[in-house]
Amino acid sequence: MNLGISISLFLLVCGLSWTLAQNDMTCESKNETCDQCVSNVSCLWCISTKSCLTYPYKYMLPPHSLCPLNDARWGQCTINFQILIITLSVLGAIIIIAFFICLFHCCKCENCGNSIQERKMQRKADKRTNAQEQRRSEMMARHDEIRQKYGLSRGSAYAKFDNSA
């Protein structure tokens, strides 16, 4: 969760520092309305003091002494800064969890794929073995028919010599 907050706030600070470097107009002069104040991304509107302040870009979050997070507005007057931070951190956590779930699922499926291939190969080998055994039994049956036709027994080749003795 802290990673999501850190990334979003880092991007916020980077954007604000660039804007402040290029903006000559101070936020304190825009003290009339919230909409006028937050139209400049380097400005922060504080509801409790009803004042437009320059965003303290040296800090990740505006200090409580400047304006409480619950009363701070940045970007839009309707979005609470505290809720924005919580929402971004939850979204960041969801993305990280989804990434790890996908990573786990892909690794698991890779292992499953190998076992599926192994099972297919085993089934093919079993089919070949069964077909070979069936051919062998058919061949033995044909040989037995031929032996029966010519009066040869299936026993030992020396059995007929034993009977004549």
Query: What rounded mean pLDDT belongs to the chain?
Result: 78
Six-digit token string for 133: 């055994």
Whether 163 has a pLDDT exceeding 70, the answer reads no
- Whats the size of the chain, residue-wise? 165
Query: What is the rounded distance in angstroms from the CA atom of residue 117 to the CA atom of residue 122?
Result: 9
Banded pLDDT at 72 (limits 50, 70, 90): confident
Q: How far apart are the first and last CA of the chain?
A: 98
95, 4 contact by CB (below 8 A): yes
Per-residue pLDDT at 49:
87
22 pLDDT exceeds 50?
A: no
Q: What is the pTM of this model?
A: 0.45
For the chain, what percent of residues have pLDDT higher than 70? 72
